[in-house]
Structure 1
Amino acid sequence: MKIAIVGAGTAGVTLLKEMVKYDEFNDVSVDIYDNKVNMGQGVPFQNDSDQLLINLPARQMSINLDKPEEFFEWYEEQKEFKYMNPEYLPRFIFGHYMKSYLNKYNDEYNNVSLISEEVQEIFIESNIGDTALKYNICTSDDIDSCRTYDCVFLTIGTLSYHDPYNLKGTKGYIQSPYPTYNTLDEVDDTDSIAVIGTGLASLDVIRYVTEHHPNLPITVTSRKGALPRVRGNMPDLEFKYLTPENFNELKRQHFGTVPLEEAMKLFDLECEYYNIQVNKMLDVNMENHIEQLEFDLNHPDELGSFQSLLEGIKENMNWIWNSFSRTDQIEFLNRYQRILKANSNPMPPRTAELIIHGIKNNLVKIKPNLKNVTYDSNKFNFQYDDGKDTHEQYDVGKDTHEQYDVVINATGSKTHLADLDADDQLVINLENRQLIQAHPLGGIQIVPETNQVISPRFGTLNDVYALGQLTNGINQSRNGVMMIVKQAVGVVSQLFKS
């Protein structure tokens, strides 16, 4: 059997790591595709500034479910990278840990090939009237150069960044903040800088720009203007009420789905059992960023218990999410997704201390109520519903405007196929050739239990699997490293069993 893995980041490397455990691996050949820069590291863990920290403690990072501290042990043994305080390590080091696995297997196994080229096309070869399918992968527009496979894994990683104000291609507009050490290459020391987005990516920009750009403060803004929470001391919690058994019983009572209201009752029971005061954790004034960050830093145990509970929900989101009706899934996204995202993707305490220092010393301004951004006369014009402490501002009616020379986009990656452009051409081609179809809540349609791709033309593709962010509509909030690793373990087990 010939297998192709398209994308060599966390999912791609983990798939290979799991495959080599099986005796059947000797009977297959595996080709792994990615560009030279991302081969083995992926985009999130590419080489970048060491100021960009993993938002998990190093001892909790691993692509080995049997050894949760494997990454930290690898770090301790290697000699190339050493830091005084290794509790939170730079992201690129995790990339080198993954790449060491890939290089090891490439050296050990003759049936593994690394193809350092971007995949441009994937198409199905099937004769009219024949149900047998072959999958062709092409790295150029020469169809004769395409390779044929029996099984394909789509592990392409994150999609390209949003462009919410249609500024891509505008002089002074930086569409993606990564790698950050190239962000300021085209920026003059006198340029004023604004950042769109206040999530984790914006924190990376703040860390780098405040250290390397003399014209401060930088303004960081979004519609809500809310920062992620700070990671607390997270204990191990085991669900007592949010269990598959209770969900199955509710599904029997409610025509095969679990009402969101009933699920929230189970959540409340979990909070009561672990003495988690949800209202206290959520009543923090998120508009006063110093107040929020200092509260989080001063309540690491209480906040950590709350975050552990939400992390447990994320880890089990495959069966939780797919037990809800479509109506309740939308309701969940509207009411709870923001809370889940802010608390289950928290920033390291060191980053929070840096942000507090930046705000207090006028190095950083964080603003809500962003309404629109336009470009005119070599300036970016930021329009707000209201505003205070503005930079070069002028009022027009109820709106407040600001002007900047450079804009860095930190809004995060796209989630819906309808928003894709040429930066995601492979996915656009896959949809156009009817190999994939959009999920209404994001990403593509897959079978939740198996990660098999559902094609609008061929039905369930038994030998095509998708993992990671491309499946975000089904695998809601399950894009963390450990979640992807768990998906890979299950998929490989199923592959060799079948």
Structure 2
Amino acid sequence: MSIGVVGGGAAAVCLIDALARVRNTVGSLTVFEPSPHLWRGRAYQVDTDTLRVNATPDDMSVRAGDPGHFERWLETRDRLTGITDGTDPLSGARFVSRRCYGDYLEHCARTALGTLRRTGRRVTLVREPVTSARRLPRRVRLHTRARSHTFDYVVLSVGGGSPQDTYGLSGTPGFVADPYPVSAALRDIGEDEHVAVVGSGLSAVDVVLSLAARGHRGRISMLSRQGVLPGVRQKPVRLHLRHLTPDRLRRTARTHRELTVADIATAVRAEFRDAGADLDAVLEEIARAAREDPVDRLRRQLDEVDSPHLGLRILQRAVPQTGPDVWPLLREADKIRLLRAHHRTLMSLCCPMPPAGATVLLNLVQAGQLAMFCGLHGITPAGQGGFDVRADGTGLHTDRVINAVNACEGRIPAAARGLVTSLINDRAASRHTHGGLQLARATSRLTYNGRPDPRLYGLGNIAAGALFFTFGIPSLVDRSQDIVTAIHEHAATVTAAHREARPRTHPLPA
């Protein structure tokens, strides 16, 4: 059995680790990744150590069923290096550098590939982009510029791509189209220049923290349409969901033949009731995000890092853990309403930043160096150099603009558009109305006209419309398990059918 994986980032590492742990699932594995950041992807490439993961080690393991895998790797690394970094002084939790997590991903990939090779499986790395694909009767053919490759199964894990240039500034002197790697993006910025950072999500926070770590003295302006910063992660506590679980909500959906917002609300109320948590406080947190001043919100959430109330922690556990399984069961009208009204706020609360980084932001604001502007209307190059910015109630001139908007979820990255277009034209895949491609929930198989294809799978951001929360490591691990299980079961079915189809031989009469 041959498997081709398009993309060699964190999602591919989760998949390869799962493949290496199942016998007879793969005879040959080929991974296509043209970028120099093999296994690290865009998020975990070698960069400044100012950039931190925003989750604790127990949420970052690539090994299914083993949440302590990354923690044990870290302990070994700490003993060898004699350095333990990343402990947050406010919460006591550990948030390692993204460079360190990239090292872990590389280790896991090399280990898994070594396991496959030792057990007789052939492993190939192709450092070229896949330009197109063709669905054959029983196989899938992938084309690179140099040649074609044919597989029994193909998994698309193409990543999320770069941020969109909303204001058409590409090529303008002083404009940075992509903030990563941050060490390169900030290299030529003068320490006294006024820097505008477009965005208010985790990428924008990365840029501001990196400027501060470099000793930047000039003004920094964070510009966005809504001004919703990532939430501030609270001190971790042990938490086990009882009602907001995939199994329970799937059972509800089978009983009612669909899942409604009212069904989810019932499960939410039961979860909060049993945990003794204040649901009204969380609803108020969601409602006030759009109207509360971002600095006031930042200050308030920092004051609540040690809060004993479990409400936000329940939300942060349930959305990534249960969201991908539950989202496809919701009525379409409910999906649209949730996306329009609450998507940005839920993502800010469920992907919070470490308290130490939030403290740096607040200190910069209080020192008068950092300002946050909402209602961004436009940015244009100025006649004498620099940029003119228009936002609600204000206009300002900046020397530099760094495009740090979060990459649009579900948007097919430019490097993969030819591949995706070829699959759509071949009627092997179809676009999802909310972004990415249509997938079957239980298996992550690509679908066309509602028919799942047992030879084609999607993993990661390409499934954003179909599965909602797709980019967190726990979600990637779960989906990788689904894919490996589906491939294994289909391959076993095909093998059994071939055995049945063989002509039976009968002994000649004596």
TM-score norm. by structure 1 comes to 0.87
Preserved contact between residue 53 and residue 88 of structure 1 (Cα < 8 Å): yes
Equivalent position of 1:497 in the other structure: 489
1:186-236 deviation per Cα after TM superposition (whole angstroms, max 9, x unaligned): 434443210111011111001111222634221011111121111113434
Equivalent position of 1:401 in the other structure: 395
The alpha-carbon deviation at position 80 of structure 1 amounts to 5.2
The alpha-carbon deviation at position 493 of structure 1 amounts to 1.8
SS in 1 for 2:196: strand
The partner residue of 1:135 within 94, 116, 140 is 140
Mapped partners of 2:428, 2:46: distance in 1: 33
Change (3 A) 1:298 1:43: same
Equivalent position of 2:162 in the other structure: 160
Equivalent position of 2:376 in the other structure: 370
SS in 2 for 1:316: helix
Letter in 1 for 2:338: F
2:134 is equivalent to residue 124 of structure 1: yes
The alpha-carbon deviation at position 302 of structure 1 amounts to 4.0
Mapped partners of 1:178, 1:18: distance in 2: 29
1:264-303 equivalence runs, <5 A: 264-281=265-282, 283=284, 287-299=292-304, 300-302=306-308
Change (3 A) 1:215 1:112: farther
Structure 2 spans left out of the alignment, 5+ residues: 88-93, 491-510
Equivalent position of 1:381 in the other structure: 388
The partner residue of 1:102 within 99, 106, 109 is 109
Change (3 A) 1:413 1:268: same
Change (3 A) 1:13 1:466: same
Equivalent position of 1:71 in the other structure: 70
Mapped partners of 1:334, 1:36: distance in 2: 34
Equivalent position of 1:50 in the other structure: 49
The partner residue of 1:439 within 429, 432, 444 is 432
Letter in 2 for 1:162: Q
Preserved contact between residue 219 and residue 367 of structure 1 (Cα < 8 Å): yes
The alpha-carbon deviation at position 240 of structure 1 amounts to 4.1
Letter in 1 for 2:225: R
1:354-413 deviation per Cα after TM superposition (whole angstroms, max 9, x unaligned): 111111112311111111222242332211121xxxxxxxxxxxxx32121211111111
Preserved contact between residue 380 and residue 406 of structure 1 (Cα < 8 Å): yes
1:252-297 deviation per Cα after TM superposition (whole angstroms, max 9, x unaligned): 675x222213422332332233232244345466544443233223
2:312 is equivalent to residue 306 of structure 1: yes
Structure 1 spans left out of the alignment, 5+ residues: 127-131, 387-399
Preserved contact between residue 119 and residue 426 of structure 1 (Cα < 8 Å): no
Mapped partners of 2:254, 2:479: distance in 1: 27
Equivalent position of 2:208 in the other structure: 206
Change (3 A) 1:106 1:268: closer
Mapped partners of 1:123, 1:229: distance in 2: 41
Preserved contact between residue 210 and residue 216 of structure 1 (Cα < 8 Å): no
SS in 1 for 2:479: helix
Equivalent position of 1:196 in the other structure: 198
2:466 is equivalent to residue 460 of structure 1: no
Preserved contact between residue 234 and residue 308 of structure 1 (Cα < 8 Å): no
Mapped partners of 1:496, 1:447: distance in 2: 16
The alpha-carbon deviation at position 183 of structure 1 amounts to 0.8
Mapped partners of 2:63, 2:460: distance in 1: 17
1:109-258 equivalence runs, <5 A: 109=117, 111-124=121-134, 126=136, 132-140=137-145, 142=146, 145-212=147-214, 214-242=216-244, 247=249, 251=253, 256-258=257-259
1:49-81 deviation per Cα after TM superposition (whole angstroms, max 9, x unaligned): 111111012243211133212212212212358
2:466 is equivalent to residue 451 of structure 1: no
Mapped partners of 1:244, 1:72: distance in 2: 26
| Larger displacement relative to structure 2 (107-116 or 349-358) | 107-116
Equivalent position of 1:484 in the other structure: 476
TM-score norm. by structure 2 comes to 0.85
Preserved contact between residue 159 and residue 415 of structure 1 (Cα < 8 Å): no
Change (3 A) 1:474 1:384: same
Mapped partners of 1:41, 1:442: distance in 2: 24
Change (3 A) 1:382 1:316: same
The alpha-carbon deviation at position 428 of structure 1 amounts to 4.4
The partner residue of 2:352 within 338, 346, 351 is 346
The alpha-carbon deviation at position 450 of structure 1 amounts to 0.7
Change (3 A) 1:303 1:50: farther
Alignment root-mean-square deviation, CA: 2.6
| Larger displacement relative to structure 2 (101-110 or 343-352) | 101-110
The alpha-carbon deviation at position 414 of structure 1 amounts to 2.3
1:316-327 equivalence runs, <5 A: 316-327=322-333
The alpha-carbon deviation at position 315 of structure 1 amounts to 0.8
Preserved contact between residue 387 and residue 401 of structure 2 (Cα < 8 Å): yes
1:473-493 deviation per Cα after TM superposition (whole angstroms, max 9, x unaligned): 111023200111011012112
Preserved contact between residue 32 and residue 114 of structure 1 (Cα < 8 Å): yes
SS in 2 for 1:445: coil
Change (3 A) 1:249 1:102: closer
Preserved contact between residue 33 and residue 118 of structure 1 (Cα < 8 Å): yes
Preserved contact between residue 225 and residue 368 of structure 1 (Cα < 8 Å): yes
Letter in 2 for 1:413: A
Preserved contact between residue 278 and residue 306 of structure 1 (Cα < 8 Å): no
Mapped partners of 2:351, 2:264: distance in 1: 22
Aligned-residue identity in percent: 23
Preserved contact between residue 159 and residue 469 of structure 1 (Cα < 8 Å): no
SS in 2 for 1:497: helix
| Larger displacement relative to structure 2 (74-83 or 365-374) | 74-83
- How many residue pairs are counted as aligned between the two chains? 473
Change (3 A) 1:105 1:269: closer
